[in-house]
């Protein structure tokens, strides 16, 4: 039966034979672990939103003819991409954290065009295999985890040059039924909460890297997969009886290291096998989608701006000019991220496969803004909140018969504000800027979908300086040898290592 509701999604994760390690111990049932449960709740909210608001969170698929969750939809227009962004912002507002499905959505869309073009060159049948896979997951309404980032080992060496070949996922055996892969994928968002995992190359590959040029799908509980859960700041607060100190007790993100030990992928789930020259295309198209997907952080920004405005009100200074100015600045930065993401989606074009791809330059500008602006928004939130963000006594002290009355006397804000409510807002700000969900709002903003330098390289490649110089020289009526422009352009390309 297809998954329809948030509760059905949670139940679908039970009883799987998954090897998940947390704090050095094998977790018996991940669904019931108090530190994992908030991340499951965040994914469940993607189902709940689809139930409540089908226009925002679902789309009509031409592949199956079904109304499907937008995270499983192949973009058939620029409007589809814009609607993805609107959904992402809304879910950020609802959860205040990473809801873990954007990687899978962007992997499906990038693979849709890349497999089409591999087939076009080599007469393979990857695109049909992928389409059949998409039909199945749309019908069942599954969660797809995308696994791209390898541990990488020595960054100065290509995958096939590494001392330990397993630091990049690679094919170790093939037979008439399929292939076996070994290696690892790091920082894997929502992987334990997914039904299927799609593995992909992480970088441009050389001819010697053919064994690393592999894309395939496998159940998240496939034999040979081990998950080692990633720690997050203040994560054990979710295991405490009182929910106050958690800040956001219901929702959290999730990352883990996935280790693959001869994991089998049947041929019908293999979507690239040795076509190393297409790895760069896949990575670039995936990052194009995924970098504009970071408009999700504007939903979290909305929550943090709301928390900052609330604590200013609780402190009795909502209309003080410098506080209002900081809230304006926070909003300006947040909307700038959203504007570039929406612009990237709006400027999409149709690929040969029929899937629409957003504008790459604007996608990289979006993500580059995300590597900076949330940090400033977080700093301003802490500025408005004051030092209690890092010096609040615990909920146990607040509820203690001896210390509780003392704290309620001295932690008061303006008249009429309940002390516990003030504490809860302060804990939320701590949670999003220093605590567990600072991972989803800050660190992920820096390194997810590539580091800042990765975006700067792509922006540099697309600056069109030659064209822009011609515009300037035309208006200034400059007369010079056209070869001079070409020499300068060649020099610039060498400086930025584009050749």
Residues identified as active-site = 98, 102, 189, 255, 290, 294, 296, 444
Task: Spell 234-260 as b/e; 16+ CB within 10 A means b.
Answer: bbebbeeeeebbbbbbebbbbbbbbbb
Q: Which residues pair with 214 in a beta bridge?
A: 273
Angle between helix axes 296-314 and 419-433 (nearest 10 degrees) is 150
For the four alpha carbons of 165, 166, 171 and 175, in that order, the dihedral sign comes to positive
Decide the pairing of beta strands 178-189 and 255-266: antiparallel
For the four alpha carbons of 27, 33, 35 and 39, in that order, the dihedral sign comes to positive
| Selection from 323, 315, 320 nearest residue 411 by Cα | 315
For the four alpha carbons of 422, 425, 429 and 434, in that order, the dihedral sign comes to positive
CA distance linking residue 75 with residue 17, whole number of Å:
34
Cβ-proximal residues to 264 (8 Å cutoff; 6+ apart), any chain: 177, 178, 179, 180, 218, 222, 223, 224
Query: What is the C-alpha R_g of the chain?
Result: 24
Q: List strand residue ranges (DSSP E) for 159-212, in order.
A: 170-174, 178-189, 196-199
| Selection from 209, 206, 207, 198 nearest residue 167 by Cα | 209
| Selection from 75, 88, 71, 190 nearest residue 137 by Cα | 71
């Amino acid at each position: 039966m297809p998954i329809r509701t948030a509760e059905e999604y949670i139940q679908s994760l039970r009883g799987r034979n998954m090897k998940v390690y947390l704090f050095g111990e094998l977790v018996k049932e991940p669904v019931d672990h108090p530190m994992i449960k908030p991340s499951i709740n965040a994914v469940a909210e993607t189902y709940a939103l689809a139930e409540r608001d089908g226009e925002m969170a679902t789309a009509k698929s031409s592949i199956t003819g079904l109304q499907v969750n937008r995270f499983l939809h192949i973009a058939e227009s620029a409007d589809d991409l814009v609607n993805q962004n609107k959904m992402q912002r809304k879910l950020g507002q609802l959860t205040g954290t990473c809801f873990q499905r954007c990687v899978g959505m962007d992997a499906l869309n990038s693979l849709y065009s890349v497999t089409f073009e591999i087939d076009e060159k080599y007469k393979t049948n990857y695109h049909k295999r992928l389409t059949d896979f998409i039909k199945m997951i749309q019908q069942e309404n599954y969660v797809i985890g995308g696994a791209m980032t390898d541990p990488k080992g020595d960054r100065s060496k290509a995958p096939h040059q590494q001392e330990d070949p397993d630091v990049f996922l690679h094919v170790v055996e093939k037979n008439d039924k399929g292939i076996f892969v070994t290696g690892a994928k790091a920082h894997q968002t929502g992987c334990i909460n997914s039904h299927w995992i799609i593995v992909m190359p992480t970088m441009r590959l050389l001819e010697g890297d053919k064994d690393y040029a592999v894309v395939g799908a496998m159940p998240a509980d496939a034999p040979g997969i081990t998950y080692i859960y990633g720690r997050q700041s203040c994560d054990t607060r979710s295991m405490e009886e009182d929910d106050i100190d958690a800040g956001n007790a219901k929702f959290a993100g999730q990352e883990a290291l996935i280790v693959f030990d001869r994991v089998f992928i049947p041929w019908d789930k293999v979507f690239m096998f040795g076509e190393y020259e297409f790895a760069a295309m896949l990575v670039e198209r995936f990052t194009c989608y995924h970098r504009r997907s970071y408009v999700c952080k504007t939903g979290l920004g909305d929550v943090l701006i709301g928390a900052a405005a609330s604590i200013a009100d609780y402190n009795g200074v909502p209309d003080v000019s410098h506080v209002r100015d900081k809230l304006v600045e926070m909003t300006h930065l947040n909307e700038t991220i959203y504007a570039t993401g929406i612009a990237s989606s709006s400027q999409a074009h149709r690929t040969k496969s029929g899937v629409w791809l957003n504008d790459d330059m604007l996608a990289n500008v979006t993500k580059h803004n995300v590597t900076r602006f949330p940090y400033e928004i977080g700093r301003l939130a802490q500025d408005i909140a004051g030092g209690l963000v890092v010096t609040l006594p615990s909920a146990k002290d607040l509820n203690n018969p001896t210390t509780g009355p003392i704290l309620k006397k001295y932690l008061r804000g303006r008249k009429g504000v309940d002390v516990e409510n003030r504490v809860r807002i302060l804990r939320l700000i701590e949670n999003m800027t220093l605590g567990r969900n600072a991972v989803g709002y800050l660190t992920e903003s820096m390194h997810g979908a590539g580091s800042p330098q990765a975006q700067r390289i792509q922006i540099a490649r697309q600056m069109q300086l030659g064209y822009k110089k011609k515009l300037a020289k035309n208006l200034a009526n400059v007369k010079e040898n056209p070869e001079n422009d070409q020499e300068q352009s060649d020099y610039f390309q060498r400086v930025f290592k584009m050749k």
